[in-house]
Amino acid sequence: MKRLDDLWNDRGNDIERLVFFSDAVFAVALTLLVLDLSLPDGVAAGRLPAALGALWPGMLALLISFFVISFFWRAHHRVFHLIERYDRWLIGLNFLFLLGIVLQPFSTELISRYGTERLAVTLYAGLLAVTGLLLTVIWVYATAKGLLGDATLDAELTRFYTLRTLIPSLLFLVSAGLALIWPPLWIPWLWLLILPVRGLLKWGLRRRG
């Protein structure tokens, strides 16, 4: 039974509402990605191949952002699969994280139109870095405040989850800085390092038992 103090201070264990709301935000953000991808009105049939070809920067940006948002959803799912309680600070941190998610369609449109500009790539990578760091903060806060409920994780596994969310954020942060001095078209190739780095992290944990 909930106490009045729990309701007043936004504490409880009905974490499902927070998770369902977050899933809805992810779904809307993924849907909005495609709205900026459209052919100009009145394209003649003979110019259709050229018009479709002109869409490739937007299509590439959409695919990158779709992968990134799906990556964040999976990471958010893993974290909240273990979190069983919440308080007002966890709710606030989650809303800040979701703010980064809802800004993804805007940053995707920005990089699709100005993908060769250093500022556009820096802002795109910087937003991804901040969004990922907020998810790491959510995990660290939940473990520090004992919001995992009856779930018990040893120190090694706790560090693994922390690094799993932190490393991609650091990679995006580094790429945001490099975008200021490197040709912007090279920066997305750095983001591909997320997969092997996370794979090595998981392999290292299994090797250590």
Label each residue of 136-188 as H, E or C: HHHHHHHHHCCCCCCCCCCHHHHHHHHHHHHHHHHHHHHHHHHCCCCCHHHHH
- Least confident window among 114-128, 134-148, 188-202: 188-202
**Under a CB-based contact definition with an 8 Å cutoff, are residues 132 and 172 in contact?**
yes
Residue 103 has pLDDT above 80, yes or no: yes
CB-side neighbour CA atoms (13 Å) of 130: 16
Average pLDDT, the chain: 81
Higher local confidence (pLDDT), 91 or 164: 91
1: which DSSP letter?
-
Q: Which of 4-8, 172-176, 192-196 has the lowest mean pLDDT?
A: 4-8
Task: Give the distance, in angstroms, between the CA of residue 159 and the centroid of all CA atoms in the same chain.
Answer: 19
What is the predicted pLDDT for the residue at 46? Answer: 59
Backbone region of residue 10 per phi and psi (left: phi > 0; alpha: psi in -120 to 50; beta: other values):
left
Of the ranges 3-12, 81-90, 156-165, which is most confident? 81-90
- E strands, the chain, are none
| Alpha-carbon gap, residue 88 to 193, rounded angstroms | 35
What does the pLDDT read at residue 209? 56
